[in-house]
Amino acid sequence: MNNTLIDNEKRVKRFIWTMGILIPVAVAALFLIPPIENLSEATKTNLYRLPALNAIFNGTAFCCLIAAFIAIRKKNITVHKAFTTAALVLSVLFLLSYVTFHLTTESTKFGGEGWIRGVYFFILISHIVLSTGIIPLVLFTYARGLGMQVEKHRKIAKWTWPIWLYVTATGVIVYLMISPYYPH
């Protein structure tokens, strides 16, 4: 392997691990930073549309991941790559929207009681933990796919795909469970 490829691979790994650490730390910090104050009621109402948009991003990413799986089973690499890229773009859009929402609004408390409360928190906590770990997995899997490192891509994709699928699905479920408690 020539030095240029080795240098590029090192840069890609450094970028992936940086994002794998930086994104979860930034998201966790959102809950320590007070939300922006002095927003108009119209602005607040509009901001409370973001969680529904986030659910759409997650749900669509889920569908793209299913379609990518079907495409690769049919050995259609071009379609597989397109759906995987779409899922990645949707996940980035979700992250940007999520950060915007949580920078500008108070956290919403889940109001359910009884057994549903336990179900909600199980889904939420598993979603949060896995969404943190999925970042480097997705980026490594995607980079290896783009670089046509087929064996490395397949090896990690066996772990990445089901976890990413779970994270996108539970993102929608969490939204559906918490949305009745939003103030707007």
**Domains, the chain, ordered by start:** 45-181 (1.20.120.80)
**31: Cα separation from own chain's centroid:** 17
Q: How much is the mean pLDDT over the chain? A: 93
Q: Would you say 53 and 95 are in contact if contact means Cβ atoms under 8 Å apart?
A: no
Q: How many CB atoms lie within 10 A of CB 46?
A: 13
pTM of the model: 0.90
pLDDT, one tens digit per residue, over 8-65 is 888 989 999 999 999 999 988 888 888 888 888 889 889 999 999 999 999 999 999 9
| Torsion (CA) 83, 87, 92, 96 in degrees, nearest 10 | 120
Which tokens hold the place of 174?
Answer: 């969490």
Name which of 124, 143, 146 is nearest 135 in CA terms. 143
